[in-house]
Amino acid sequence: MALWMETGSEPKTETEIADLEAISALKESTALELKEKGNELVKKVKKHYPEAIHCYSRAIDQKALNDHDTSVLFSNRAHVNLLLGNYRRALSDSQDAIKLFPANVKAYYRAAKACLSLNLLAEAKSYCESGVGKDPSNEELKKLAKQIDLKKLEQEQREAQVSKALVEAKDLVSAIEDRRLKLGNAMYRELTGLRKPVLDKNGILHWPVLLLYAEFMSSDFIEDFCETDMFSAHLDIMFSESCPPLPWDKENHYSRDAIELYYEAGSGICLSKSKILRYLLEGTAAANVESIGEEEKDAADGSPYDSSAGSYKWVKVNEKRTLHDVLNEPNFIIPMIPVFYVVSKRSGFYKDFITGKWRPPA
Amino acid sequence: MATELEELIGFLSAPSPPVKKAAVDIVRDLTGSEDGLHSLSNYANTVLPSFSRLLSDDKEVSEPAAEALVNLSQNAGLAAKMVEMGLIKIAMDMLYKPGSSITRLLVMLLVNLTQLDDGISSLLQIGDDKMQGLYVMKLVRSFCRSSETSDDPFDHVGSILVNISKKEEGRKMLLDPKRGLLKQIIRQFDSSSLLRKKGVSGTIRNCCFEAENQLQNLLLISEFLWPALLLPVAGNKIYGEQDTSKMPLELGSALSIDREPVKDPEIRVQALEAIYLIALQEAGRRALWSVNGPRILQVGYEDEEDPKVMEAYKQIGSLLVHGSETEEPSTTTSK
């Protein structure tokens, strides 16, 4: 029988063997003492936990205990790490415990708990199941399994919501692209808020439309303007006989027959698909998704219309046209939500507006 | 021992032009009769390739050759063989060769060949990623331009479009907003040629079968679509201000004046069927209401006498009555 011996070492004498055995026994009892001390410390308040960990670590370092007992040490240290919120270390300790003694049920429990806190749901489930395999009647493990399932379900539901929001927004971008509409930066966000166009089940777009009464800097919304509707239909309803006159319209200039609608011609640059997608995702479940598909550079619409030089370019809307036809005009760059300016033929303000002397406040 | 017919068919490839010409004329005459067609179909494998080669010959040979092919293509089996042989590509290539004198005949040939599914697929160029739709685009463009010429050689293209729109891939291609084909085709509805009108009407009606899935591609050309669909079924009266004020400009002004009634009942039925298909969809009903469509149908029905057309009016009528919710555009306002 050959013994590994360090080079240069002599075969041991009887005294040396006795000494080695004594040291080994000492280490063993030290380890056990440290373990007891650790256990005691854990029962106290939180501030003692780090010291408990230290005890367990020193006990482990003695390397004096058998696999079963060392496994318990790791698993105890895992427990304290869990209490301290050191989930990664708790997981690593539990794994070491399991390696040394695969029947250590507590280790599985603690591993599962650590994984749950780290949001590693699949691994958590796996440890739970292994643990239940070793101890089928363990209630705590079963409870933990239910917790994990619940969290998984919540995660899946969230992902489904994000996915749905993303798909809806992409369909919208597609619909806008098919119609060759030009979209620019949103204007009047303080008024439009998070309003967005909507695609109905027939693939028809419905737009929220902002109406601005230039003369009084007052605003109104048509919340659901279907693209196949004519302007006249909506105006008929808004300015019908039975509707009260607008509060600031003291001289009743803004009657059905006197109002005219205008949009601003070609101001700003056209946004790229990805920019439009980002806008449409705002306020939805998918607002924070990092990658949304192909990123393209902004397509510049020739040179952006310089709105500071010279007079404003207003284009009159023919009431008997559909929203779609007007939005499709080549010089209309829709500021995300279509904006139309309402003026009255009968008001003194009309001349200033038409001749381009008035412009919207910056 | 070759039969007379076999000899004759052999002469189609004769090097001597007068011999060839005589053979072509005789065989062309044969194709004009049932018996002749029957006999020739036994030799399809030699006759068809010969004729298709002759299409590129001089006018005096290519014309009768084309006529013969048109006659032969009325037989489904022969038509199938022609499609298999790639005759659609040959015809399209010949059609756009400058100086071609057999344009109308080639178009008629394509009409017959697209009666078959395979013919349609071949014309749509399905499976050829790069070229898909090129033939159709060319034909539509020719269809639209040739109405301005005196002889209008492409007037049968309307019938080709009716055929291809029987297949879903054909409808999809015509409705594709990026190609803008349907928009071009609808404009031809104003033509005085009945053949063109029928072609356009039938094509629109077929395309409306896609209303369930592609309603937006129909409604977004509503500026042109509604006049084409509603004017034929608007009756003969001149509409008053109260009615036309609720319509878009083109429709309203067209109905405020005297107009030629559409005499062909089939076109009126097709228009009503197309409207019905659109009205089956909620957004379609809404769009119809927004142009005062139901009022037009009501007035048109009063003047109608053809029983089949009256049936079609009634079908839409009951759909509109039972078709769910609000017809007014919904407008909620907030400050």
Q: What is the mean pLDDT of residues B169-197?
A: 91
Candidates A200, A221, A234; nearest CB to B283 = A200
pLDDT one-digit tens code per residue, B291-321 = 999 999 999 999 999 999 999 999 999 988 8
d(CA A95, CA A107): 7
User: What pLDDT does residue A358 have?
Assistant: 84
pLDDT digit string (tens) for B268-288? 999 999 999 999 999 999 999
pLDDT at B335: 36
Are A219 and B252 a contacting pair at CB < 8 A? no
Could you count the other beta carbons within 10 Å of the beta carbon of residue A294? 9
- Hey, of B212, B217, B219, B251, which one would you mutate to test binding to chain A, going by the most A CBs within 10 A of its CB? B219
C-beta contacts of B98-102 below 8 A and 24+ residues apart: B101/B59, B101/B62, B101/B63, B102/B55, B102/B59, B102/B62, B102/B63, B102/B66
Say which residues have a Cβ less than 8 Å from residue A117's Cβ, sequence separation at least 6: A82, A85, A87
Predicted local confidence at residue A307, as pLDDT: 46
Which residue's entry shows tokens 């166009």?
A197
- SS3 track for chain A: CCCCCCCCCCCCCHHHHHHHHHHHHHHHHHHHHHHHHHHHHHCCCHHHHHHHHHHHHHHHHCCCCCHHHHHHHHHHHHHHHHHHCCHHHHHHHHHHHHHHCCCCHHHHHHHHHHHHHCCCHHHHHHHHHHHHHHCCCCHHHHHHHHHHHHHHHHHHHHHHHHHHHHHHHHHHHHHHHHCCCEECCCCCHHHHCCCCCEECCCCCEEEEEEEEECCCCEEEEEEEEECCCEHHHHHHHHCCCCCCCCCCCCCCCCCCCCEEEEEECCCCCCCCHHHHHHHHHCCCCCCCCCCCCCCCCCCCCCCCCCCCCCCCCEEECCCCCEHHHHHCCCCCEECCCCEEEEEECCCCHHHHHHCCCCCCCC
Pair of tokens at residue B122 = 């071949």
Domain ranges of chain B: 1-124, 170-323
Nearest by CB to B215, which of A203, A221, A230?
Answer: A203
Alpha carbon dihedral A292, A296, A297, A300, in 10-degree steps, equals: -110
Q: Catalogue the E-assigned strands of chain B.
A: none
B310 contacts: CB under 8 Å, gap ≥ 6: B301, B304
Rounded to an integer, what is the distance from CA A288 to the centroid of its chain? 4
Whether the CB of B182 is below 8 Å from some CB of chain A: the reply is no
Nearest-CA residue of chain B relative to A235? B331
Query: In chain A, which residue's Cα lies nearest the Cα of B328?
Result: A233
Angle between helices B168-175 and B194-207 (to 10 degrees): 100
B202 — pLDDT class (breaks 50, 70, 90): very high
Q: What is the DSSP letter of B210?
A: G
Cβ–Cβ gap B335/A218 under 8 Å: yes
Contact yes or no for B248 and A224 at CB 8 A? no
CB A279 within 8 A of CB A336: yes
**Pair type for strands A259-264 and A218-226:** unpaired
Quote the pLDDT of residue A310: 47
**Quick one: average pLDDT of B226-234?**
94
Q: Answer yes or no: do A321 and B329 touch at CB < 8 A.
A: no
Strand partners of residue B97: none
Q: Which residues of A touch B (CB under 8 A)?
A: 175, 178-180, 200-205, 218-230, 232-234, 237-238, 318, 320-322, 324-325
CB of B194 within 8 A of CB of B264? Answer: yes
* HSE of B113, CA atoms in CB hemisphere, 13 A: 28
Six-digit token string for B248: 């878009």
Say what the pLDDT of residue B330 is: 46
The pLDDT of residue B46 is 86
Put simply, the answer to whether A225 touches B331 (Cβ < 8 Å) is yes
**Best of B176, B213, B215, B216 to disrupt the A interface by mutation (most A CBs within 10 Å)?**
B216
ipTM, two decimals, is: 0.72
Which chain A positions have a beta carbon within 8 Å of B220's beta carbon?
179, 227, 324
One-letter amino acid of A53: I
Mutation target vs B (from A174, A191, A202; most B CBs, 10 A cutoff): A202
Burial of B14 (0-12, 13-18, 19+ CB in 10 A): middle
Q: Name the residue in chain A with its Cα closest to that of B330.
A: A224
CA angle B160, B266, B103 (to 5 degrees): 25
Non-local (6+) Cβ contacts of A245 within 8 A are A252, A254, A255
Burial class (CB in 10 A: 0-12, 13-18, 19+), B126: middle
The residues in B 260-289 lying below 8 A from A, measured between CB atoms, are 281-284, 286-287
Q: Which residues of B touch A204 (CB under 8 A)?
A: 215-216, 219, 283, 287
Are the C-beta atoms of residues B117 and B110 closer than 8 Å to each other? Answer: no
Q: How far is A202 from chain B (nearest CA, A)?
A: 6
Domains and CATH numbers, chain A: 2-137 (1.25.40.10), 180-269+304-354 (3.10.20.90)
Mean pLDDT score across all residues of chain B: 89
Residues of chain A with Cβ-Cβ distance to B335 below 8 Å are 218-221
For residues B3-28, average pLDDT: 87
Q: Which pair of structure tokens corresponds to residue B317? A: 């009528």
User: Which residues on neighbouring strands pair with residue A261, listed in sequence order?
Assistant: A342
For residue B67, the model assigns a pLDDT of 92
**Phi, psi (rounded to 5 degrees) for A361:** -65, 145
Is B248 within 8 Å of A175 when comparing Cβ atoms? no
How many angstroms separate the CA atoms of B315 and A128, rounded?
A: 64
Query: Which CA distances in Å does B142 have to A126, A324, B130, B164, B175?
Result: 68, 29, 21, 16, 18
Nearest CA in chain B to A199: B216
* CB A225, CB A304: distance < 8 Å: no
Q: Quick one: how far is CA A346 from the chain centroid? A: 51
All residues of chain B having their beta carbon less than 8 Å from the beta carbon of residue A220 are: 333-335
The pLDDT value recorded for residue B69 is 92
**Which residue type does B163 have?**
N
Chain A touched by B83 (CB under 8 Å)? no
Instruction: Give the H/E segment covering residue B274.
Output: helix B265-279
pLDDT of residue A297: 52
* pLDDT of amino acid B178: 87
Rounded Cα distance between B150 and A340, Å, is 47
Contacts with A, B 198-257, CB within 8 Å? 213-216, 219-220, 222-223, 246-249, 252
Residue A208 backbone zone (phi > 0: left; psi -120 to 50: alpha; other: beta): beta
Q: How close, in Å, is residue B142 to chain A by CA atoms?
A: 25
Tell me how far CA of residue B84 lies from CA of A63, A156, B119, in angstroms: 85, 52, 9
Core vs surface per residue A65-99: b (16+ CB within 10 A) or e: beeebbbbbbbbbbbbbbeeebbebbbbbbbbbbe
- Contact criterion met (CB below 8 Å) for B175 and B220: no
Question: Rounded to whole angstroms, how far apart are CA atoms A148 and A122?
Answer: 9
Cβ-nearest to A222 among B249, B287, B333: B333
Of the candidates A202, A238, A322, the beta carbon closest to that of B331 is on A238
Please check the confidence at residue B334 and state whether its pLDDT lies above 70.
no
Predicted pLDDT at B284:
93
| pLDDT, mean of residues B56-81 | 91
Let me know the angle formed at the C-alpha of A112 by A106 and A115, rounded to the nearest 5 degrees: 140
pLDDT at A292 (0 to 100): 65
The pLDDT assigned to A309 comes to 47
Which residues of chain B neighbour A226 with C-beta distances below 8 Å? 283, 286, 290, 329
Contacting residues of A for B222, CB less than 8 Å apart: 228, 322, 324
pLDDT in tens, B161-180: 999 999 999 999 999 988 99
Confidence of residue B200 (pLDDT cuts 50, 70, 90): very high
Q: Which residues of chain B does A229 touch, with a Cβ-Cβ cutoff of 8 Å?
A: 286, 290, 329
pLDDT of residue A301: 42
Instruction: Report phi then psi at B4, rounded to 5.
Output: -60, -45
Q: In this predicted structure, what is the pLDDT of residue A11?
A: 65
> What gap in Å lies between CA B248 and CA B245, rounded to an integer?
8
Per-residue pLDDT 10s for chain A (362 aa) are 455 555 556 667 888 888 888 888 898 999 999 999 999 999 988 899 999 999 999 999 988 889 999 999 999 999 999 999 999 999 999 999 999 999 999 999 999 999 999 999 999 999 999 999 999 999 999 999 999 999 999 999 999 999 999 999 999 999 998 888 999 888 888 888 889 999 998 899 999 999 999 988 889 999 999 999 999 999 999 888 888 878 888 888 888 999 999 999 876 788 888 888 888 988 888 888 777 665 555 444 444 544 444 456 899 999 999 999 999 998 899 999 999 999 999 999 999 888 888 888 76
Nearest CA in chain B to A232: B246
Q: What is the dihedral of CA A240, A198, A328, A239, to 10 degrees?
A: 10
- For residue A39, the one-letter residue type is N
* Nearest CA-CA distance, residue B7 and chain A, Å: 59
Which residues from chain A sit within 8 angstroms of residue B283, using beta carbons?
A: 200, 202-204, 226, 228
Q: Which CATH superfamily is domain B1-124 in?
A: Leucine-rich Repeat Variant (1.25.10.10)
Task: Kindly state the tokens that stand for A153.
Answer: 């379900």
